[in-house]
Structure 1
Amino acid sequence: MSNKTVDARGLEPPQPFERAMEAIADLAPGSSFTLLIDRMPHPLLRMLDRDGYRHEANFRDDGAIEILIGRP
């Protein structure tokens, strides 16, 4: 299964959050997607923790943050 990428770099709030929420709504159990974003999305990460989603953030050399988000 391919991992979808949602590129939210350069967007003004709340667009990155909205794009992430749309991708989360489409996630099948056991699947994941990658979110590319300019800054750490703390409200999104709190929501993911609350709702039981997996997430792992990595800082890329180009300054972007790459977050792998998975549904259990």
Structure 2
Amino acid sequence: MKLDNRGLEPPQPMMRTLAALESLPKGKTLSIINDRRPMFLYEQLDEMGCKYETAQQEDGSFLIEIKK
């Protein structure tokens, strides 16, 4: 599942991501693209026990792969 959060103002990207994670089956991966590194989201993901990797893209955005 892929979610493009570019162009949204905080906290919309985090809210959209958390809502998408709720319906994501365990063991699946959610890919999100954000304009900024989602520092507050990382805390939530740690609490939820999700694994994640972040990679900065050439256009300055961030691709975050989140495994539930």
List alignment gaps of at least 5 residues for structure 2.
none
Identity %: 37
2:48 paired residue among 48, 51, 55: 51
1:64 corresponding residue in structure 2: 61
Q: RMSD of the alignment, in Å?
A: 0.8
1:16 paired residue among 10, 13, 17: 13
Is residue 40 from structure 1 mapped to residue 41 from structure 2 by the alignment?
no
Letter in 2 for 1:55: Y
TM-score, normalised to structure 2's length? 0.94
Size of the alignment, in residue pairs?
68
Q: Deviations over 1:1-44 (max 9, x none)?
A: xxx11000010111101110111101101101101001111111
List alignment gaps of at least 5 residues for structure 1.
none
| Distance in 2 (alpha carbons) for counterparts of 1:25 and 1:58 | 23
